[in-house]
């Protein structure tokens, strides 16, 4: 075989592998926004943040799982973090909202799962917290559990998520790259009628704006008319809710973490901007959609001790005027995280033979190239 033929054979053989490895939007030369992502372009670019998954695929009809987010590696109950939750559309079963709203802090890992497994996840997180060292006298725990409904692809009524699955996701939590697509709480989810899942992205502010990092992780299970980098992909494909090919109802859980020193008030303002990121993908927050944003500051100087002899809390916090770059970072990272969930999603067959196709990436990339949205 000639060198030319050998080279052709090599490229022909590895091309499918290269395509398989290109499961993120930026792998195809598409950049969202103007700010730069962090090292991993993930929630874990925020220092100290860890993410873990438990993926449950069993038989023909179980397609579900759990995803955990730890804002820091210490005892979160003893060192609480400032937090806020924004409700974009409240058709959902998010647990732990009212205490976060009232007190402005988070005291447990954040766990995402399916709708009917929220009580199980709460029990697991409560047990995890009670059994941590220094928590021997704790008698109240506010577990924050988010959910979307994966009942089209999974036997959700069987409630197959166990406390062990939840604890495994917490134990598996780590820094570094985050697996996306059909994993964890995104195993059985659907987005814009295509296979959705877990997606993540990050942005790092310029030094003149503080150099802070904003990371976003999403569990996508919602509808609308898909747009990618401003291109009306759903319309061009004829794949959108008005065609009645799929239901636009669903949910999206969005988790926004930053190392910027923020109080709960400005964290809620930050959380609101994630909904703008969702809208830039064509999401419409339909009637049956549970769209929630959990925002947390991981800044060490802002941690809130469980017990203190000092009745006065003094924490640094950014001025209102310094928030705008963080708003932009949140919008861009949320948009890209949602799109990453679609690019990483793979065709899945589940309950009763239901099949959800993956996003036709080659067609989408061709549309983006035609619109001048790709870079070499």
Closest CA to 63 of 161, 193, 143, 209: 161
Asked if 40 contacts 177 with a C-beta cutoff of 8 angstroms, the reply is: yes
Specify the DSSP element, H or E, that contains 370.
helix 361-370
Tell me the torsion sign for CA atoms 21, 328, 88, 98: positive
197: left (phi over 0), alpha (psi -120 to 50) or beta: left
- Side-chain half-sphere of 323: how many Cα atoms within 13 Å? 17
Task: Please tell me which residue in 241, 251, 286, 297 is annotated as part of the active site.
Answer: 251
End-to-end CA distance of the chain: 32
Task: Please tell me which residue in 150, 155, 259, 291 is annotated as part of the active site.
Answer: 291
Closest CA to 227 of 169, 277, 290: 277
Label the pairing between strands 194-195 and 190-191: antiparallel
- Concerning whether 209 is annotated as a catalytic residue, the answer is no
Q: Indicate the SS3 state at residue 53.
A: strand
- Concerning whether 251 is annotated as a catalytic residue, the answer is yes
Asked if 216 contacts 274 with a C-beta cutoff of 8 angstroms, the reply is: yes
Q: How far apart are CA 121 and CA 22, in angstroms?
A: 33
Task: Please tell me which residue in 68, 289, 297, 341 is annotated as part of the active site.
Answer: 289
Distances (CA, A) of 323 to 32, 41, 82: 20, 21, 16
Label the pairing between strands 105-106 and 110-114: unpaired
Closest CA to 329 of 27, 47, 36, 45: 36
- Concerning whether 291 is annotated as a catalytic residue, the answer is yes
DSSP assigned state of 231: B
DSSP assigned state of 60: T
Specify the DSSP element, H or E, that contains 180.
none
Active site residues: 251, 289, 291
């Amino acid at each position: 075989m000639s060198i030319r033929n050998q080279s052709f054979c090599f490229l022909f053989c590895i091309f499918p592998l290269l395509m398989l490895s290109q499961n993120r939007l930026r792998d195809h030369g598409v950049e969202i926004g103007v700010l730069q992502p962090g090292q991993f372009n993930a929630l874990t670019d925020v220092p100290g943040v860890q993410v873990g998954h438990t993926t449950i695929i069993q038989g023909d009809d179980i397609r579900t799982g759990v995803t955990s987010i730890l804002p820091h590696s210490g005892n979160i109950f003893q060192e609480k973090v400032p937090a806020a939750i924004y409700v974009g559309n409240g058709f959902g079963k998010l647990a732990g909202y009212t205490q976060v709203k009232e007190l402005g802090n988070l005291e447990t890992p954040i766990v995402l799962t399916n709708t009917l497994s929220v009580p199980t996840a709460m029990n697991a997180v409560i047990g995890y917290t009670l059994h941590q060292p220094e928590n021997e006298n704790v008698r109240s725990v506010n577990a924050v559990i988010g959910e979307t409904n994966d009942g089209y692809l999974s036997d959700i009524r069987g409630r197959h998520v166990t406390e062990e699955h939840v604890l495994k996701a917490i134990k598996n939590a780590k820094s570094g790259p985050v697996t996306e697509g059909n994993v964890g709480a995104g195993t059985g989810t659907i987005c814009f009628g295509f296979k959705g899942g877990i997606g993540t992205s990050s942005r790092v502010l310029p030094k003149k704006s503080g150099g802070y990092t904003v990371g976003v992780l999403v569990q996508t299970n919602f509808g609308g008319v898909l747009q990618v980098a401003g291109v009306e992909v759903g319309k061009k494909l004829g794949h959108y809710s008005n065609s009645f090919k799929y239901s636009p109802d669903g949910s999206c859980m969005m988790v926004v973490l930053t190392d910027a020193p923020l109080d709960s008030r400005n964290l809620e303002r930050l959380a609101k901007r994630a909904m703008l990121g969702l809208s830039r993908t064509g999401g419409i927050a339909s009637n049956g959609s549970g769209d929630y944003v959990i925002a947390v500051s991981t800044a060490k100087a802002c941690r809130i001790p469980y017990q203190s002899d000092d009745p006065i809390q003094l924490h640094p916090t950014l001025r209102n005027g310094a928030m705008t770059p963080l708003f932009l970072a949140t919008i861009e990272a949320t948009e890209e995280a949602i799109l990453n969930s679609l690019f990483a999603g793979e065709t899945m067959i589940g309950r009763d033979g239901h099949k959800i196709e993956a996003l036709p990436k080659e067609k989408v990339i061709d549309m983006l190239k035609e619109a001048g949205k790709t870079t070499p």
